[in-house]
A and B are shown apart, each in its own frame.
With several copies, the nearest count.
Chain A
Amino acid sequence: MSLAALNKVEMKPKEYKSDVSVVWCPGCGHHGILNGIYRALSELGIDPDNMMSISGIGCSSRTPYFIKSYKMHTLHGRAGAVATGAQLAQPDQCVMVTGGDGDGFSIGGGHMPHMARKNVNLTYVLFDNGIYGLTKGQYSPTSRPEMTAYTTPYGGPEEPMNPLLYMLTYGATYVAQGFAGKPKICAELIKGALEHKGFSYVNIFSQCPSFNKIDTVQYYRDLVEEIPEGHDPSSLGQAIDVARGLENGKSPMGLLYKVDKPTLDEKLAEIVTKVGGHKDYDVNKIVDLYRP
């Protein structure tokens, strides 16, 4: 975000809670992520009037309801594309997308590369629970193949995707990974993402105790490990290596990659400058071009 341009407010994390009560199951990892978001917003002093929370459909996509901000609860898979329009319309506001692995990488997977390579100036927090929660337990693109689920009673036939590697490949300019069981780390990474100018992506493992019986809290706890000291987040090569897995086979937690590039709104503003465009341009001049 261009957080500099925003006026800061002083609000405690819990003051970012809206008056809609949280509907997730007890024990759901999404609670932890939400707390991380509240904390990050508070630490940055983001003014809810200048923030847009945008989501698709899924348990995780309910998040905007629980946050004080302007917000949109859109369609399954389309949050990123909607947010792109919203961000370009109000480039000075803070735009955050929240959503699930299914929403983002299954039905929404076609929009991801384009948002990233266009470097749309927004933050995408993906609640990765390896399952479709809201529809009661079908496998998602991040599900492990050994999982038996709703439409895979005999086990899944697919290799899971690697969200971090995808995002690095797509050209996201900030890529990080957290785990819902570590809300402080989540807060830290989300904060960094919100501060980052450009397309920032935070993948957060989140257990779904109701429907994903194999990716338990304990499983994720064992799976992740903080990225070793000495990692250079400005190196795409190193980031790709880490994204493919730490040397001990664990999944990295922390900031993988961060680089500064012009954002889409900046590039579009450049075009306007190039043609000398301004709000008060006399459009009758365009009509004149069509006189015979």
Chain B
Amino acid sequence: MAKKDLVIRIGGEGGEGVVSAGDFIAAACARAGLEVYTFKTFPAEVKGGYCMYQVRTSSERVYNQGDTYDVFCAFNGEAYELNKHLLVPGSVMVYDGPGGDFEPEIPEGVIAYPIPMTKTALALKSKRSKNMVALGALSALFNISEATLKEVLTLKFKKKGEDILNFNLGAFDEGKKLAQALEKVDEFRVADARTPDDVIIISGNDACGMGAILGGLEFFSAYPITPATEIAKFVATHIPKKAGTLLQAEDEIASIAQLLGASYAGKKSMTATSGPGLALMSEMLGMATMSETPCMLVDVQRGGPSTGMPTKHEQSDLFIAIHGGHGDSPRIVLSVEDVNDCVNMSVDALNLAEQYQCPVILLSDGSLAFSTQTIPAPKKENFKIVNRRKWDCKGEYKRYELTGDNISPMADPGTPGAQHIATGLEHNEKGSPSWDIHNRDLQMDKRYNKLSTVIENYHDTEIDGEGEADLGIITWGSTIGVAREAVERMRAEGMKVKGFYPKLMWPMPVEQYEAFAKTCKKILVPEVNYLGQLSHFIRAETSIDPISYPICQGLPFTPSQIIAKSKEVL
């Protein structure tokens, strides 16, 4: 398979402009009509610490961050130390030298381009221009269109004034010159510009906010928490334009309580949090279930348990999302694969919450949260918006009426003649407390059975591949993108491999799982957590006996990891 993509990784100290350099490259590539998938790791410390930004770009669809980098740009010695084990023959390193804080040893077969970034920046009398020097060099070395990059820089810096803009462009040019003075001996280059599709470039968190607003969100309350806070920032910036409301609550319990109040009062409402916040919300989620109040929650998963590894990637909240309440407390759980899903499935989640009058938890994760990706520009017109079923104002109003599909019409406060109570107590059709055993059966059945149509109403789980296979890969969340590439590459090697990529995690489309598994000799379930949480549910709910492949080191899978494991189990 000819290599169509290029992966550039920049590593340095937080505050050295690593992130903005990466952002500029990503934006320039996107502007040039290429596909972009970025991946970042942030320092866990408050300031400083190692920070990494990786841009993968291609003229074809990019599904994940890639196996490793092709080009590594080292801003400092720490970054070099942390990344040198990945310098394999044929890979390229651009580094701060001479005059940086380290002297790299160049392994056999690795191509190294020294660019005196710090020295040049100091000569320009601004340490902060280091990243511009690097950017200029990278542009010249790897065919990242100078014109486009300069457009992007201009857009960014012109707000800050002509002087700042020109200074940065100047530093860029210095870097370019330094690179042009070197002899290029590698073959890596960013693909040529194409006519751009109708795309946007956006991070997972922003995309959740965007999806929610496209989905008709009217009320949002949350408490800040890494890595979910950017969703609140997006909504805070844009919801007032739609005359909607954003509150920063005093804690997560208050935020979901406010959500339920607003939802009861008729507004499409949501919150966003991460594992610790979800844990705190467990009790109130049960109230949403019992009172049948629409409730949409995004959980951007991070490394657990407890405070864990807050800035690290993990997919380990499936247990709490599905089982994390006392009593039998049904809910819908969705999980996104990529940034595009963040938009579309935020709409889905709001729709499902309204349609089924229950909690809907949308799982995202730490690596998607900050991954910027090019996605088709969403259009309001293309989304179907679902609103809660409203009372027809006929007869006596019963909030928990046993209807044919177990979904009872709602009546917002202010509706004449439909006064009723939303309650966390077991209740009869009218909402009055009831411990009658017959009523208990009816209402428990109602809350579960109304979800029986979720599976048929939601789109089928995607199957990647046809016919019989030796191996079927079932995975979820952002690991799907990794699996897609692994499957494609294995297939190219002649292996018979298929993929099954669920987005509706609960209720589980058991028949779809089983039908898929019937076509595969073995089932492998890679996921980024310790116990193999999806494997657990597959074993519990289906007849499939999967091979669980959990990893739990704070990093996403690479395609190669999945390929290697697939070969091992076959």
Listed in ascending order, the chain A residues whose CB lies under 8 Å from chain B are 20, 23-26, 48-52, 54, 57, 59, 62, 64-65, 68-78, 81-90, 93, 106-107, 109-111, 113-114, 132-136, 138-139, 141, 150-154, 210, 268, 271-272, 274-279, 281-284, 286-288, 290-292
Contact = CB atoms under 8 A, between A and B. Distances in A.
B390 interface: no
Interface string B396-428: 000000000000000011111111111111000
Interface string B151-175: 0100000000000000000000000
Nearest to A136: B229
A291 B243 contact: no
The residue in B245, B249, B252 that gathers the most chain A C-beta atoms within 10 A of its C-beta is B245
B241 interface: yes
Given A23-B48, A283-B380, A290-B210, 18 more contacts: A49-B413, A49-B416, A50-B414, A71-B422, A75-B306, A84-B247, A85-B261, A85-B263, A89-B265, A90-B413, A110-B250, A150-B229, A153-B236, A277-B240, A286-B213, A286-B238, A287-B379, A290-B200
B264 interface: yes
A277 B202 CA distance: 23
Nearest to B217: A283
Given A290-B202, A290-B210, A90 B266 contact: yes
B200 A93 contact: no
B19 to A, nearest CB: 13
Nearest to A111: B254
B243 to A, nearest CB: 4
Contact of B214 (A150, A283, A291): A283
Contact of A88 (B152, B219, B418, B433): B219
Nearest to A50: B414
Contacts of A85: 219, 221, 247, 257-263, 265, 269
A70 B420 contact: yes
B422 A73 contact: yes
A82 B246 CA distance: 15
A179 to B, nearest CB: 21
B237 interface: yes
A84 B240 contact: no
A135 B225 contact: yes
Contact of A275 (B214, B240, B412): B240
Contact of A72 (B224, B236, B284, B291): B291
B213 A75 contact: no
A72 B414 contact: no
Interface residues of B, number: 87
B471 interface: no
Contacts of B243: 272, 277-279, 281
B261 A76 contact: no
A117 B423 CA distance: 28
B248 interface: yes
Given A109-B250, A271-B240, A287-B378, A74 B419 contact: no
Nearest to A133: B46
Given A50-B413, A72-B264, A84-B258, A286 B210 contact: yes
A64 to B, nearest CB: 6
B276 interface: yes
Contacts of B254: 78, 81, 84, 110-111, 114
B39 interface: no
4 nearest CB pairs, A to B:
A85-B261, A85-B258, A292-B30, A81-B257
Contact of A290 (B206, B262, B419): B206
A291 B377 contact: yes
A151 B380 contact: no
A150 B200 contact: no
Contacts of B237: 153
Contacts of B378: 287
Contacts of A89: 218-219, 245, 261-267, 269
Contact of B307 (A57, A65, A110): A57
15 contacts: A24-B47, A49-B413, A57-B307, A71-B422, A74-B422, A81-B261, A88-B245, A89-B262, A90-B413, A106-B251, A114-B249, A138-B224, A153-B233, A277-B241, A284-B379
Contacts of B306: 75
A150 B224 contact: yes
A69 B226 CA distance: 29
B561 interface: no
Given A151-B248, A277-B241, A75 B267 contact: no
Nearest to B227: A135
A49 B257 contact: no
A287 B242 contact: no
Contacts of B436: none
B249 A81 contact: yes
A49 B424 CA distance: 22
A71 B248 CA distance: 24
B224 A132 contact: yes
Given A50-B414, A52-B413, A72-B421, A152 B269 contact: no
Contact of B240 (A70, A88, A272): A272
A86 B267 CA distance: 9
Contact of B420 (A71, A210, A286, A291): A71
A64 B419 CA distance: 11
A79 to B, nearest CB: 8
A263 B269 CA distance: 21
Contacts of B240: 154, 271-272, 274-275, 277
B179 interface: no
B31 A292 contact: yes
Contact of B262 (A71, A86, A277): A86
Given A90-B265, A272-B243, A82 B258 contact: yes
B27 interface: yes
B38 interface: no
B547 interface: no
B354 to A, nearest CB: 14
A233 to B, nearest CB: 28
B284 A75 contact: yes
Contacts of B246: 151
A271 B214 CA distance: 20
Contacts of B432: 20, 65
B56 to A, nearest CB: 16
B46 A88 contact: no
B290 to A, nearest CB: 10
A107 B251 contact: yes
B199 A138 contact: no
B196 interface: yes
